[in-house]
Structure 1
Amino acid sequence: MASVQALKSRLRSNYRFFLPYRLRWADNDQYGHVNNSVYNFLIDSVVNTYLIESCGLRPTDPNPSEPIGLVVTSSCNYFAPLTFPEVVDLGLRVNKLGNSSVTYEVGFFQQGKDTVAAVGGFTHVFVHPVERRPTAMADTMRRGLEKLVIEETASL
């Protein structure tokens, strides 16, 4: 796991997939910046967009024999405020890809800026859809996720 200092130094080039999101008025809290719960919503949105577009996830037509991903941990570190009506570019990478789990990292970038405003993510564990026991992820899922893997070279 990267240190907070390493996360704060992330740049756009540290991510492999991007999804733009225009912040809504309702995303702001009473203090005039994006509420922390919205960050979790956006992390979930960019991950699932990628899984649908690149990994064979079919939430509207699931295969009852394929494993499902359950979130087992999540986090977010905040470095600079984001606010409506900015457009935020959500950068996605995979920090760890196991047999039955994957750890995603999402960088939040103000459009046109190269430094992160926040870094968050979560870990999916793939489980049997009925028994809810860890199982290997589907091959299509793994191949898509492999394209996002970025190995940490050094900790700051």
Structure 2
Amino acid sequence: MSQLKQRRRKDYTYFLSYRTRWGDNDQYMHVNNAVYYLWFDSIVNTYLIEKCGQAPATSPLIGLVISSFCEFFAPLSFPEVVELGLRVNKLGSSSVTYEVGVFSEGRDEPAAVGGYTHVFVERVGRKSTPMAETTRAGLNKLLAAPSSTPAPKL
């Protein structure tokens, strides 16, 4: 069984609620897989803007996604409120790996867990660059304890 399925709300530091929309459902009447990645972008970028001083239109550095993942454990569908939990599993000098727990409102176990890795680059030249100190300080507040990060799959 996936270690990610064992996550609970207490494993995440920052939360954002999201009301599903009719258009989020696919023909099988559950939230389409692609929507989860929109939710990941929403919580990560909300946090970067609100807590890390990022300004998408003007910041000299931007984060580019270099890898992503998602594991699904229970279906969600419209109309439902989901609560997204955010944590940082790894914080490097120019990269960060985020993890997002997707919870049905009021539930302690996740319906899905996913995330991605950002590499910060210069807006214009796209050269990998150490992140700004304000960004690093904000992301450090979400850094998970090493023992709660799943071991990499070999």
After TM superposition, is the score higher than 0.5?
A: yes
Structure 2 residue aligned with 1:29: 26
- Number of equivalences: 150
Which residue identity lines up with residue 147 of structure 2 in the other structure?
T
Structure 1 position 42 matched with structure 2 position 76: no
Q: 1:90 and 2:59 equivalent? A: no
Partner of 1:71: 65
Structure 1 residue ranges without an equivalent (≥5): none
TM-score scaled by structure 1? Answer: 0.92
Match of 1:51 among 27, 30, 48: 48
Q: Which runs of 5+ in 2 are unaligned?
A: none
Please list, as runs of the form range in 1=range in 2, the aligned pairs for 1:112-127 lying within 5 A after superposition. 112-127=106-121
Deviation at 1:152, TM superposition (A): 3.1
Q: CA deviation at 1:129?
A: 1.7
The equivalences for 1:102-113 within 5 A come to: 102-113=96-107
* 1:53-87 Cα deviation digits (max 9, x unpaired): 00001124x14xx2211011111100000111110
- Of all paired residues, the percent bearing the same amino acid is 60
3-state DSSP class of the match of 1:53? helix
Runs of 4 or more above 6 Å deviation: none
Q: 2:8 aligned with 1:6, yes or no? A: no
Please state if 1:19 is matched with 2:33.
Answer: no
Instruction: Verify the 8 A CA contact 2:43 2:86 in the aligned structure 1.
Output: yes
Task: Measure, in 1, the Cα distance between the counterparts of 2:64 and 2:56.
Answer: 13
Contact 2:64/2:120 (<8 A) preserved = yes
